[in-house]
A = this chain, B = another copy of it.
Amino acid sequence: MNKQSNNNNSQKGVLKIIPLGGLGEVGANMMLYEYDDQILVVDTGLMFPENDMLGIDYIIPDISYLIARKSKVKGIVITHGHEDHTGAIRHVLEEIQAPIYATPLTRGLLEVKLAKNGMAAKAKFETIHAGDSRKIGPFTVDFFHVCHSIPDAVGLGIDSPAGLVVHTGDYKFDHTPVDSWPTDYAKLAEFQRRGVMALLADSTNAERPGWTPSERVIDDGFDKVFREAKGRVVVASFASLISRMQQVANAASRYGRKMAFAGTSMVDNAKIATKLNYLKLKDDLIISLEEALNMKDSNVVIMCTGSQGEPTSILGRLSMGSHRIFDVKEGDTIVLSAHPIPGNEESVSRTINRLLARGANVIYDSIAPVHVSGHASQEEMKLMMHLTQPDYFIPIHGELRQLKQHAKIAHQLGIPEENISVILNGQSVEFSNGKMRKGAKIPVSYIYVDGSGVGDVSQDVMHDREILSQEGVMVVNIIMDKNTGKPMKMPEIISRGFITMDNTDDIFNGLRARVFDTAAKANGNIQKDVEQAVGNYLYSETHRRPMVFVNIVRN
């Protein structure tokens, strides 16, 4: 049965769920639902590189499976406007022509993003609202509202003849969200009455006991910050954290400060969110950064990007004093209103230290309630399971460690182990006659996006970059006499990233001599002999193995 399903992509009555990203190492969320030879895509996310992915800007899911089935894609649903769910949209649209289903804010943020790449035209949008139901190919999709750290986020009830699947997307159960719009408990209960075959739920915080605090606690955090701030207040966060913008705006109004946004992405997102009325700003509240910098310090708050310590972000430049017009000064209160994404702890910490060194008072989430997670913790995960009462459970959105924890929780709540599938990117799961089984494993890999290149950086290139980054490079040029077959003069040697020149002159003289002798003696493959000689000499002298280029010219 399983074997057959691997060879046959269009079994009648079989629902296939295929994660292309977001489960395991590639955190770029993208899930395929396939039924009756038709495909529904849920989310098109990107992931930011890990520290050892040298020179990579971001990573997108491998969509070759989708490209091979272009014509079968009936729709693309985006659950909310965060990068790890939207960031790969332009790469997908370059290959796939299908309508994009999104709520107004999510659509707005997607349009901003696509416009940057001149691809706004390529996108066909179907605006939906929480509560709507849409027929997409063989699927009937119920969109239901969920609380998250961005407004207008939705979860999905995906119905097909194979059964009803609830796909939460990113969510939390916040009883006092900033927009006063709680997660749709009633719809989840309704799903339970209809009978939920499978629940696919957000695992991000599966290691966190208890209940994620409400966004509301941040209001108190900001209130204290604004009350005590003598000079300027600067709040750094994500450009897509719209609800945080609202909270800062509210605090600014309460304390009679004007508000400025710094950073293109933040300005653009604030504009669209305001236009669509998800961000409610008093007309006279917002001023430009230039105006803000010329106002009395105690009268302004500036909101900017850089909460992850990105060196090129506004906050990153501020911490290094390298911003064109904006500088930190004694008396500034700087709030990092975000939690470090795993891998960014170090750069965030360094940014905090540098800002402190410049005399700013820096507030961050480990010392004050200026950020809360947008994801459900363990008790909320249990509530989700009890509200939906699924027959089968598949943890999504997380590394294996979180997926396993989430699975443990489901098992504790009475879901039999054989009804729980912990799967990673590429591992499909199939449902037929109400039964779940593992399906084919689709080959998936990282697609690295580096500068303008997509997928043109391979593991080999990455490996070379690693060697270069650890050991540096050495270029050796020798001119050989055609007639005598001997070197005409001492070779020219250049090195970069190897070791500091001035205190290694001996080594270089020794190296030149060694190269000269080797070239003089060589009778077979001079190139190879010299390369070897250089490698051995440098290792014996320095225990380092730089990348060596030997260029031999016969003159």
Contact = CB atoms under 8 A, between A and B. Distances in A.
Nearest to A422: B356
Contacts of A498: 461
Contacts of A499: 450, 453, 456-457, 461
Interface string A324-349: 00000000000000000011011001
Nearest to A472: B465
Contacts of A220: none
Contacts of A399: 349, 353
B404 A356 contact: yes
Nearest to A494: B549
Interface residues of A, number: 67
14 contacts: A51-B346, A55-B471, A342-B349, A353-B400, A356-B400, A357-B400, A450-B544, A457-B499, A458-B500, A461-B498, A468-B496, A496-B547, A549-B549, A555-B555
A528 interface: no
A458 to B, nearest CB: 4
Contacts of A7: none
A466 B356 CA distance: 26
Contacts of A458: 500
A246 to B, nearest CB: 28
A123 interface: no
A350 B27 CA distance: 13
B549 A465 contact: no
Interface stretch (A143-151, A186-194, A473-481): A473-481
A201 to B, nearest CB: 18
A318 interface: no
A504 interface: yes
A399 B357 CA distance: 11
Interface string A439-471: 000000000001111001110111011111111
A366 interface: yes
A362 interface: yes
Given A51-B346, A549-B549, A465 B461 contact: no
A450 B499 CA distance: 9
A342 B342 contact: no
A362 B401 contact: yes
A179 interface: no
A417 interface: no
A353 to B, nearest CB: 4
Contacts of A353: 24-25, 399-401
A553 interface: yes
Contacts of A462: 497
A54 B470 contact: yes
A543 interface: yes
A454 to B, nearest CB: 10
- Counting from the closest, the 8 A-B pairs by CB-CB distance are A469-B469, A468-B468, A55-B470, A464-B497, A465-B497, A451-B543, A452-B543, A343-B346
Contacts of A25: 350, 353
Contacts of A549: 475, 494, 549
B54 A464 contact: no
A467 B469 CA distance: 8
A30 B54 CA distance: 33
Nearest to A424: B357
A312 interface: no
A343 B469 CA distance: 18
A532 interface: no
Contacts of A477: 477, 551, 553
A117 interface: no
A475 to B, nearest CB: 5
A402 to B, nearest CB: 9
A456 B418 CA distance: 58
A542 B451 CA distance: 7
A468 B461 contact: no
A438 B382 CA distance: 56
Given A400-B357, A471-B55, A461 B342 contact: no
Contacts of A367: 207, 405
B473 A473 contact: yes
Interface in A281-298: none
A105 interface: no
Interface in A522-554: 542-544, 547, 549, 551, 553
Contacts of A543: 451-453
A472 B549 CA distance: 13
A503 interface: yes
A50 B472 contact: no
Nearest to A547: B496
Contacts of A88: none
A248 interface: no
A352 interface: yes
B400 A453 contact: no
